[in-house]
Structure 1
């Protein structure tokens, strides 16, 4: 059923959409009204029409006032909704994803408005990221039920903020918080003693990787284990204390007098992630352009087939004719008069300039000429709707149809093995994967150790002052001076917050007199052993010999995960708002009152004393239907010792139980979470972000075969996918994505060549002559041939150029190095979405009764081959030392880590098959004599441990016990979108001017600039293309002014940036980009609009005339007669003598769209 926008109570319908309406302000005559008006009281929250993304926030003094624009998708088309005249700027940031009915801002009357109301527009057919590019439609007749968030490929009813795009993290970070690189992690993991991916020392499948305190000691107490991606915590288990198994038999078979407890953690966190693979806007534009060109070509071909050999007649005025030069269009050669009949010899199917030409002969004349016949869209030329030629009716091209195969087969859709999800939307696909973090530390590790005594720090100080008054009580508590302490006296004090206090600029110390005394007149009032308060500093004056004492740094408290269920202690967030959008948190006596927003008890401010508690597992989500945003509610209690303060009104008694909203960050700030459920699997559905803390390494103790105990801290991390369709999407790239990180693929048999690169020509010697040089010649034959396929990240390769101008990649592989020539067609370039070409492949046993014990005979040949390479002693087995050695070999590691292992999870409760394996593994070394008892005891211990670690059946999120496992570091490395690999519009021009090496530096710097400024890098590229007439010449100068360089820096601008136009012209393109960024930063500050809020036209206006950023699109920048107009009249698109912001925006949009033809 159709749904139309209605913001609900208390809004009422006002002025309607109209193509012609008298201007209500009486200043601009009859003008179109591009939306609907909805009057409402000032401050009323404005509900979003649908899920969407904030793409623009602006202020239009004479028009929209404060306004916000959301972007949506509707069946693949882009739709924008606009909300205007808001009382204040929307609190939402650009890039925020909002849900339907959530507030986008308060009703107001800013801009061109006659009263408090919402002006609401819907614009269709626009460009992504361009808020005002679409055509306004009547909101009362536009069905909004199909509008969805641009990041959502579903039906719009699913929860948001769960699909991740590029924000992924490795599970561990360095001590200072810096990120590891993948190569750094591979190196550290290879130095671990055990816990390698795919295979354990006992030949059991091992689906994860162990990070231990040996190589990652910071993750024991200081740096928590982190979520690798945004998602939902679907289950967890927290131990109150570490579990343990008891060893009762010694290695000699004797019963131990006291059992040995081997402690370990069964704590885990399981996260479900939805990863959205989607086409970039650049690829979509490219595909749309390719489709358009295909349609144009079809029209041209259709016209050519119908007109070749036919006759046409020139209608109306004369038409230019062009000579035939070498079969191509030559110079202008006179005109054909109107009425001339022309015989079509051939219609060219190649665009020449802006036209498709036809070779013709005038009737009864043999000389051949060219005439422009079709426009660039492949349509017959017209003027004012009147055709230039009278041609056969059949020659009017029809709208091209897709080839017959395209009606039934879409190459962008996955095959039938890739699932139905991608078929719904050929631009994106959401796949589901899970990440597991096992052996997280027990809660006991977060608490002070029992019996741990508070360390007391005592120091002795020597008084260096005369007539220094001391007190019996602290001055801040009314203590009065009692006398002078003797110069040179010594005092002893514990240094803590109770003994060292500052009032104003005076610091006092509570101390015991060790020597000397305190006198008043001739009377001793305090002596050795007495306690006094001594001033040790006043301003810059110090009254002790020693350095001033400092309060001890309190021990760092471990970060507690937010997904634990328990009692939350919270305070009021400074961002909290009441119904009138004023600061403060509203509290109510009941849930019903809170839902209706009636009978409010009080409004609390963000004072630190406002503390309350609630139970995190009892929080309720209330989805409103009256236009108000959905909220989280909870029943709360005042925290112990809380003293409430109020944002407004008289203080009231806070009841023992009250209700309020508990949206983290928006209304409250969580200060502490005390878990209340331990040692059991908790199923939940809790949002989590990439990098959020999950816990620390737990204890894991095991008995050795010599009877000793091995103890370490570790976390087991694994990534798995349960749905084969999702694995196929990763492997096969059914959406045919072309962006992302780029690699070259060298197949088996590729030759590596010795290709020395000659050094730069030598400088002249003392005699002024050039020394003779010899350029080494390339080896005619390959020095080494690769024995397997390899892929190399392009951004990590060196590209060299030989004397002939040929380019060569420098390659190191299989313990050899050499060069591979780069040509237009080789090596093959693949991207991060083509996992099969990148070397990933599924390995699984052909044995249908797989029990978790790897049976090499049942494995595919590729696995056997690599197994053979790793098995250096050729005993048919891989021990830990062999696997560790192999993982230090980058070639072997690359293959091993790209195996996607399909095998049973080790966390299932049904352990019968594994116990059978364990029996063979654990007892076989002890099958003789009394040692058999130790082996049997060991089997009993490990079986109990395994049962306590299991959780799979209790969670139920995956349909099978057999799942597809990925190396977690490799998975994050390859699935993460690397921004430095982004394709940029107009880059072909940059490469042509500067060559590949400088062009790649240029690309990296532009992308970094976009990231720093939160501007689409392609917006910057479009602007530089316009300013440099598509040359990207950093030294280009405007002949009519001092304007110089990539964005045409004026002399005054250059000086303001600390340079000159002369310096800019000579410093080089990469160095000049630094000043481009500095200019944008300076301009944003000057105009008062941050760069993160700039859309395409704002970026260009920042260069052209910065003040235009704040103006509406109809604002007139320059008029005929002014010097500025004369210099920029190319922007006057309609030639009416005025240059408006709209015309400037249209020009830069043209450069933006055209740039995709030269993307690289």
Structure 2
């Protein structure tokens, strides 16, 4: 099963690990696992704008594991309730995903398997989703009330200079005005497409240019200044979808059954469907099928092929992969809005797929004041199971291995200090500890040792080596709280909360008050213990306000005895009734007592492979510079070392030293913003004087590029024009007018350049990492802006450049430098870096 974190970082990247995400979510003021507001049981966690504001509209909440959407409730708009005369908005929208956990022991074929669910509550209502592309300024940019002339005359240029313009700051957002065509205009000597946009961010008025929120202005489109945010819509809502293939695809026959417990295999290739083929399919009838051993989201489609020269269009039906990478959706409808909807046929969803955005929840903050409210965008994420096989999985009955590794070290073991390959005993004794991904070493006798703390080791044979599948042994515990009303009463804690507190803090002696229990349940120092509790408890989404589990509300009303408080309780009861869904969705056969997991604890780590490239090797190759960045790229270095097969030690040393020299391990985007003399020096001619008329005899005209002299102002300090010209008609690029030269300029740790290279990189990446299908021809900037792909581009270069990897296994620094550089430029620096890496690796 594939897993994913529920959100991305602010810049749209994956979190490095669960510790990084947990660190972020510590900043949430409420909504923590086990205890929520009003001293109530809380079976999930909140992700809100307090810690992740980008999940309001930019980066959606994502599905945490492969599974099937089995129910949802998506309202068109927010519900509202009234308290003290003010209307308070809230969302009861949710999505429920069912997951099938299954791990097999390859030797015995025994399985650990159970069914669990992930619930995403308080999602953004449907009418508030971004339905069209949104434009966002990367840098400050001028907007105008009219478009300047294209290639203006002297009089027109003078008139254009008088047109008012206002610079809006980076981050300003726009909606493109539908139905208005682009207009072409010139700014200075550069031509641009101007688009009419509506300002979404608050702005200001200056020199007659209106830039307040909601106004319409003309914006010059430039790749370096404007980015497009595509709407991330929850596709599981849709029934009938009409789409167009964005690239040629195979249409397939009906799937064939897979092996027992496995997904079906995709059927045989039945027809080749060209790009532009129109397809329609039922999005509630999707299924995962295996293609080349990888699960793909497939649908039985009705297709209509386009008419091509010499070929008539065809119509028919076939199974097609309908993942977002391969289709452009033309039309889709969501026909089950505004109701609780258990799906008749569950819709497959992959880990990382869009669930939705944070929904608004408004709550009163005063019993008497009007307009006293708290407003926050949030999602409640919850994971639960009622599968009776859970106990066997937690005990790892099948004895499955793999994934993250742990070492459980008992107290009292003598620790030894490492000196090269020798281990000298010390007087220090171990404390009981569980080590996550422990570092290992061997001594001269080939005995394995585990590092317990910095520089101190214990023999591996004396500790209990575990995997992530040994749930109970690595600290997970079950607490049965069946039948509890979930309220931590102030006068005395219930048996359920006492049991929770004593499980978290077993050394605590004496009677515990409710204040003690509250403190223990919120203790950040015990956060890891709390996250490992699996608690059986009635779901807060099962009962309505009239059930016995809410009698504590009636008791509080009687104790407080204030009319205003009674009104607040009645208000909360209305909301409780609006949020219930579990009992009403009888088809799902859920509840009321469920085993709840801390949501991030269910996310399993991938196979824990040994590092091919270490931090010490990276730092040596980078001459001990920029340690923070080296740590950041280390994960990607090892990911692609495995994917591409970089496993020869001498080749690794050459690889790292060459990248260290070429880019210092930084993601490079070729800078073509040169002055006139510099652009001619680099691109004008290899030798000879600079004057154009004296170069005819000295230079090959193909390299001369005479326009750098005759049309200097067009290309100097104009990266787009220069790149389009000097790289035109090379490496698969089209003519200068096509803009391919600039679009496919050099990017990456070792730069890949040219359309044919981006095309080959796309093909290679999709073969090496089939779980992450990309199209770098369509999105070449990803090679520079996404650190993962920037790192991968270096591996791609290394394995496709003149048999470079094979030669690096035996060649010297000069041999490799001449392949990488075409000469001996920078040889001394490359050799120094190679010697430093070799020293760390212990090779010559």
Instruction: Label 1:1006 to 1:444 Cα distance change in 2 as closer, same or farther (>3 A).
Output: closer
Instruction: Label 1:493 to 1:260 Cα distance change in 2 as closer, same or farther (>3 A).
Output: same
2 CA distance for matches of 1:567 and 1:806?
59
SS in 2 for 1:675: coil
Aligned to 1:703: 364
2 CA distance for matches of 1:876 and 1:548?
62
Aligned to 1:792: 435
Instruction: Label 1:807 to 1:549 Cα distance change in 2 as closer, same or farther (>3 A).
Output: closer
Any conservation in 1 of the 2:412–2:431 contact (CA below 8 Å)? yes
Any conservation in 1 of the 2:147–2:183 contact (CA below 8 Å)? no
Matching of residue 172 in structure 1 with residue 20 in structure 2: no
Aligned to 2:341: 682
Aligned to 1:935: 565
Aligned to 2:352: 691
Matching of residue 492 in structure 1 with residue 327 in structure 2: no
- Choose which of 234, 245, 249 in structure 2 pairs with 1:572: 245
2 CA distance for matches of 1:570 and 1:743?
47
2 CA distance for matches of 1:464 and 1:572?
35
Deviation at 1:872, TM superposition (A): 13
Instruction: Label 1:668 to 1:917 Cα distance change in 2 as closer, same or farther (>3 A).
Output: same
Any conservation in 2 of the 1:867–1:878 contact (CA below 8 Å)? no
Any conservation in 1 of the 2:298–2:319 contact (CA below 8 Å)? yes
SS in 1 for 2:382: strand
SS in 1 for 2:347: strand
Deviation at 1:209, TM superposition (A): 0.6
Deviation at 1:859, TM superposition (A): 5.9
Aligned to 2:54: 218
Aligned to 1:866: 504
Instruction: Label 1:900 to 1:755 Cα distance change in 2 as closer, same or farther (>3 A).
Output: same
RMSD: 5.7
Instruction: Label 1:958 to 1:826 Cα distance change in 2 as closer, same or farther (>3 A).
Output: farther
Aligned to 2:692: none
Aligned to 1:809: 451
SS in 2 for 1:677: coil
Deviation at 1:671, TM superposition (A): 4.3
- Choose which of 250, 269, 275 in structure 2 pairs with 1:606: 275
Matching of residue 265 in structure 1 with residue 87 in structure 2: no
SS in 1 for 2:233: coil
Aligned to 1:965: 596
- Choose which of 332, 341, 362 in structure 2 pairs with 1:673: 332
Aligned to 1:822: 458
Deviation at 1:785, TM superposition (A): 5.6
Matching of residue 906 in structure 1 with residue 540 in structure 2: yes
SS in 2 for 1:901: strand
Deviation at 1:791, TM superposition (A): 1.5
2 CA distance for matches of 1:834 and 1:741?
10
2 CA distance for matches of 1:947 and 1:916?
15
Aligned to 2:814: none
Aligned to 1:207: 43
Instruction: Label 1:738 to 1:490 Cα distance change in 2 as closer, same or farther (>3 A).
Output: closer
Deviation at 1:701, TM superposition (A): 0.9
Any conservation in 2 of the 1:619–1:634 contact (CA below 8 Å)? no
Deviation at 1:913, TM superposition (A): 2.1
Q: Higher helix share goes to which structure? A: 2
TM-score, normalised via structure 1 length: 0.42
1 CA distance for matches of 2:229 and 2:27?
29
Aligned to 1:728: 391
SS in 2 for 1:723: coil
Deviation at 1:734, TM superposition (A): 1.1
Aligned to 1:741: 404
Aligned to 2:120: 437
Matching of residue 917 in structure 1 with residue 552 in structure 2: yes
Any conservation in 1 of the 2:280–2:301 contact (CA below 8 Å)? no
Instruction: Label 1:168 to 1:614 Cα distance change in 2 as closer, same or farther (>3 A).
Output: closer
Instruction: Label 1:620 to 1:697 Cα distance change in 2 as closer, same or farther (>3 A).
Output: closer
2 CA distance for matches of 1:492 and 1:1010?
53
Any conservation in 1 of the 2:241–2:283 contact (CA below 8 Å)? yes
SS in 1 for 2:55: helix
- Choose which of 238, 245, 249 in structure 1 pairs with 2:74: 238
Instruction: Label 1:831 to 1:500 Cα distance change in 2 as closer, same or farther (>3 A).
Output: same
Any conservation in 1 of the 2:89–2:361 contact (CA below 8 Å)? yes
Deviation at 1:506, TM superposition (A): 8.1
Any conservation in 1 of the 2:74–2:93 contact (CA below 8 Å)? yes
Any conservation in 2 of the 1:208–1:968 contact (CA below 8 Å)? yes
1 CA distance for matches of 2:228 and 2:297?
40
Instruction: Label 1:918 to 1:615 Cα distance change in 2 as closer, same or farther (>3 A).
Output: same
1:741-772 Cα distance to aligned partner (Å, 9 max, x none): 2211134xx14889888999xxxxxxxxxxxx
1 CA distance for matches of 2:554 and 2:149?
75
Once the two structures are overlaid, the 10-residue window that deviates more, 195-204 or 952-961, is: 952-961
2 CA distance for matches of 1:1007 and 1:174?
16
Deviation at 1:694, TM superposition (A): 0.6
Any conservation in 1 of the 2:60–2:356 contact (CA below 8 Å)? yes
Matching of residue 833 in structure 1 with residue 668 in structure 2: no
2 CA distance for matches of 1:568 and 1:578?
17
- Choose which of 277, 287, 291 in structure 1 pairs with 2:103: 277
1:819-854 Cα distance to aligned partner (Å, 9 max, x none): 874114222222111111111110013xx6433446
1 CA distance for matches of 2:591 and 2:519?
33
1 CA distance for matches of 2:127 and 2:118?
25
1 CA distance for matches of 2:364 and 2:251?
60
2 CA distance for matches of 1:687 and 1:208?
23
Deviation at 1:809, TM superposition (A): 3.2
1 CA distance for matches of 2:376 and 2:635?
46
Any conservation in 1 of the 2:74–2:94 contact (CA below 8 Å)? yes
2 CA distance for matches of 1:507 and 1:672?
34
1:70-119 Cα distance to aligned partner (Å, 9 max, x none): xxxxxxxxxxxxxxxxxxxxxxxxxxxxxxxxxxxxxxxxxxxxxxxxxx
2 CA distance for matches of 1:241 and 1:178?
30
TM-score, normalised via structure 2 length: 0.56
Matching of residue 952 in structure 1 with residue 588 in structure 2: no
Aligned to 1:120: none
- Choose which of 25, 33, 37 in structure 2 pairs with 1:189: 25
Any conservation in 2 of the 1:493–1:510 contact (CA below 8 Å)? no
1 CA distance for matches of 2:510 and 2:386?
34
SS in 2 for 1:877: helix
- Choose which of 322, 329, 334 in structure 2 pairs with 1:664: 322
Deviation at 1:668, TM superposition (A): 5.0
Count of equivalent residues: 575
Any conservation in 2 of the 1:462–1:491 contact (CA below 8 Å)? no
Aligned to 1:876: 514
2 CA distance for matches of 1:615 and 1:806?
56
Deviation at 1:933, TM superposition (A): 1.4
In structure 2, stretches of 5+ residues that fail to align are 133-140, 167-175, 196-218, 254-268, 290-295, 613-629, 660-748, 751-756, 770-798, 807-844
2 CA distance for matches of 1:508 and 1:740?
52
Deviation at 1:215, TM superposition (A): 0.7
Aligned to 1:977: 606
2 CA distance for matches of 1:219 and 1:507?
36
Q: Summarize the alignment of residues 378-417 of structure 1 with structure 2, pairs less than 5 Å apart.
A: none
Instruction: Label 1:837 to 1:444 Cα distance change in 2 as closer, same or farther (>3 A).
Output: same
Deviation at 1:713, TM superposition (A): 0.7
